[in-house]
């Protein structure tokens, strides 16, 4: 084979490999790029009503997830798409409705942020829940003691449980192992409500 022909064949093989590689990359990225295109519900009154109405359905979906194989990666991507479309700082409903558990590390961090001793912070701003252990102090009327309107006044030092809430995208274990929390949270958190509805569609669940 002539040198020019050999060089041409080598160039052709490189272009062909590059084209195949590019096609495979695009195919993989397309498969992983899950975008939630369903109707996004953010009205808190509707979410509370529909969340309660669908409580039994969501419990059944929890059992369905435990019994069927699914990709946590895909479900996390679905939840991330939903989370990106909802501004938690404009909602703050979890701060009004849910409790926030705190660890010793959280207490130290918050105490330093407020320029208090950990003991003083614990005495003034936390209480012990029989079910959840030590939590941030709250009132039935206003919710978390650090909530001012829709603003968290200790946002930069908020507890780990608040940072990861509602624990759909970020949390310990698989999504299925955390599903026991979501039937309640679907009644007050737009991210959880919409994520569960999207998960059902993604996994072909029928009630």
User: Where do the DSSP E strands lie in the chain?
Assistant: 126-129, 133-136, 138-139, 143-144, 147-148, 151-152
Give the model's pLDDT for residue 129: 93
Per-residue confidence at 29, pLDDT binned at 50, 70, 90? Answer: very low
Task: Give the count of beta carbons closer than 10 Å to the beta carbon of residue 166.
Answer: 24
Cα pseudo-dihedral 126, 127, 128, 134, rounded to 10? -10
pLDDT at 2 over 50: no
pLDDT at 25 over 50: no
State the Cα–Cα distance between residues 33 and 169, nearest whole angstrom: 16
What's the pTM?
A: 0.77
pLDDT at 4 over 60: no
Q: What is the pLDDT of residues 129-181, one digit of tens each?
A: 999 999 999 998 899 999 999 999 999 999 999 999 999 988 888 898 889 99
Q: What is the pLDDT of residues 101-127, one digit of tens each?
A: 999 999 999 999 999 999 999 999 999
Task: Give the count of beta carbons closer than 10 Å to the beta carbon of residue 150.
Answer: 14
Which residue has better confidence, 3 or 150? 150
Cα pseudo-dihedral 84, 87, 89, 94, rounded to 10? -80
Q: What is the pLDDT of residues 36-69, one digit of tens each?
A: 456 789 999 999 999 999 999 999 999 999 999 8
Q: Give the mean pLDDT of the chain.
A: 85
Task: Give the count of beta carbons closer than 10 Å to the beta carbon of residue 48.
Answer: 16
State the Cα–Cα distance between residues 142 and 149, nearest whole angstrom: 9
> How is residue 17 written in tokens?
């490999």
State the Cα–Cα distance between residues 167 and 192, nearest whole angstrom: 9
- Domain extent listing, the chain: 1-33, 35-92+179-207, 99-164
Contact, 202 vs 74, CB < 8 A? yes
């Amino acid at each position: 084979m002539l040198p020019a022909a050999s060089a041409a064949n080598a160039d052709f093989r490189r272009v062909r490999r590059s084209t195949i590689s590019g096609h495979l990359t695009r195919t993989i990225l397309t498969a992983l790029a899950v975008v939630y295109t369903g109707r996004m519900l953010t009205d808190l009154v509707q979410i509370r009503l529909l969340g309660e109405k669908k409580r039994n359905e969501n419990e059944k979906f929890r059992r369905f997830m435990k019994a069927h194989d699914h990709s946590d990666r895909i479900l996390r991507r679905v939840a991330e798409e939903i989370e990106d479309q909802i501004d938690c700082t404009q909602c703050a409903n979890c701060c009004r409705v849910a409790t926030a558990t705190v660890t010793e590390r959280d207490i130290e961090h918050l105490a330093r942020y407020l320029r208090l001793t950990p003991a003083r912070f614990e005495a003034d701003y936390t209480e012990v829940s029989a079910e959840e252990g030590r939590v941030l102090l709250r009132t039935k009327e206003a919710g978390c003691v650090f909530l001012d309107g829709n603003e968290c006044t200790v946002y930069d030092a908020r507890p780990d449980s608040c940072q990861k809430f509602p624990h759909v995208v970020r949390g310990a274990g698989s999504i299925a192992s955390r599903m026991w929390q979501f039937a309640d949270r679907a009644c007050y958190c737009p991210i959880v409500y919409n994520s569960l509805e999207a998960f059902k569609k993604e996994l072909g669940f029928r009630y």
